[in-house]
Amino acid sequence: MSVIKKDRKTIIGILGGGQLARMSAFQAIRMGFEVAILEKEKDSPAGSLTKNEFVGWLNDEEVLNRFIEASDIITLENEFIDSSFLKKIEEQGKKVIPSSKTISLIQDKLIQKTTLKKAGVPVPNFLQINSDTSFENVKNILGKKFLLKSRKMGYDGYGNATIKNKNDYQNALEKLSSRHAELYAEEFVNFRKELAIMVVRTKKEIKCYPVVETIQKNHICHLVIAPAQIEKRLSKLAEEIAIHSVEAVKGFGIFGIEMFLDEQDKISVNEMAPRPHNSGHYSIEGCITSQFENHIRATLGLPLGSTKMVKPYAVMINLLGKRNDIGILQNYDEILSDDNINLHIYGKKNSRIGRKMGHITIIGENLKSLIKIARSKEKKIIL
Ligand SMILES: Nc1ncnc2c1ncn2[C@@H]1O[C@H](COP(=O)(O)OP(=O)(O)O)[C@@H](O)[C@H]1O
Ligand SMILES: [Mg+2]
């Protein structure tokens, strides 16, 4: 049965009120729907857009129940919500997309990697870390350079450490365990490029966005180039791997799949996210249907829109906070003084050095010049 209401606006509940929820909400509202937002603090980037703003979190049963009650269907903007909470929501008769089952296969990176590997998806070598696993144990299996990663709650590089010796290992064990106790180790991939693809799937359709190249700075996504400048054969392979990954977790909804392309042209999956993804922001202006619109469409089980690009190239650059101050852009005139700039500011109350505060997208015919403009604008941002 369709969740779309005929006698009032359909309300899509989003767990989380950050920038991803905000950009999905814009699209929901544009298409005549409403959103309900659950976030810990009032006036979040997405919460501030709707009268259905619920302030609290999953452990606050009263608020959670009101949020569930207000929503016709529920989706999420991050994978950090324990899947057992989602299961409870499903047991109350409310549909969650992606399902609690899918989230349970993704939110623990060790379970995610194990699931993908079992399904035949190429992943880097990895190893569970127990309290008695020594540096030598890991080194013997993964080689002398590897990463320690938190199994849960990692984002923007928080939760990762590169290990080259016993000292690094001991320090990282202490540091990472203080954030989240359970860890795993992963072989260091000497990648030539990092790639990403968005995949959107309903019971009736599955569509891929173009393969993009992502360039991280300090483990945070910095620049995205769409489409990735790689051979057609490799794009095709990346697409197949991405679809295979989504099927492996029985995923419906929208997914971002991060991949490594190594010197031997081997592609392996780094991680997948069950939601819109930073690497897909370019699609707002770059594609016929953005990842956020298709997120809403897939959540509601509606026909998916075209994922084709509208111009040959799109370049997206993240605007990371440059100061610890109010989250208001200080120089709109300077940033907008180019007729090809698409500016997105997330409306976060406070800026913090390195915090994702917004992004810029430029689309056009000349990739080199798009990258040049994007970089020079980013440098000028005061935020
Ligand atoms: N096995 C690896 N080998 C080499 N670099 C890696 C590896 N895993 C992660 N990285 C680097 O760290 C970045 C962030 O790691 P990732 O596992 O994606 O964590 P997060 O959840 O923080 O995005 C990656 O985009 C990549 O640049
Ligand atoms: Mg990542």
Residues 255, 198, single domain; the answer is yes
Q: Considering the domain boundaries, does residue 323 fall inside one?
A: yes
The reply to whether 66 and 153 lie within a common domain is no
Q: What is the pLDDT at residue 179? A: 72
Q: What residues have their beta carbon closer than 5 A to ion ligand 2?
A: 258
Q: Is residue 323 domain-shared with residue 375, that is, in the same domain?
A: yes
**Closest ligand, as measured to the CA of 154:** 1
Listed in sequence order, the residues at least 6 apart from 140 whose beta carbon sits closer than 8 Å to its beta carbon are none
Quote the Cα angle for 10-16-19, to 5°. Answer: 95
For the CA of 187, the nearest atom of ligand 1? 1
**Do 205 and 129 share a domain, yes or no?**
no
Same domain, 242 and 375: yes
Q: Cα angle at 291 between 289 and 297, to 5 degrees?
A: 75
269 and 353 assigned to the same domain = yes
Question: Which residues in the chain come in under a pLDDT of 70?
Answer: 1
Q: Is 48 in the pocket of ligand 1 (CB under 6 A)?
A: no
**Within-domain flag for 157:** yes
The bound ligand whose nearest atom lies closest to the alpha carbon of 152 is 1
Query: Is residue 375 in some structural domain?
Result: yes
Identify whether residues 151 and 287 lie together within a single domain.
no
What does pTM read for this prediction?
Answer: 0.96
Whichever domain contains 68, its CATH number is: 3.40.50.20
Range of the domain at 77: 11-96
CA 271 to centroid of ligand 2, rounded, Å: 6
Asked if residue 57 belongs to a domain, the reply is: yes
| Ligand with smallest separation from the Cα of 79 | 1
Q: How many domains does the chain have?
A: 3
> pLDDT value at position 122?
98
Alpha carbon of 259 to those of 57, 160, 242, 328: distances in Å? Answer: 32, 16, 9, 34
For residues 244 and 262, give the distance between their C-alpha atoms in angstroms, rounded to a whole number. 19
Task: Report the distance separating Cα 124 and Cα 149, nearest Å.
Answer: 13
Strand partners, 345: 358
Whole-number Å distance, alpha carbon 72 to ligand 1 midpoint, is: 36
Q: Beta strands of 50-154 (E only): which ranges?
A: 53-55, 73-76, 126-129, 146-150
Whether residue 147 has its Cβ less than 6 Å from ligand 1: yes
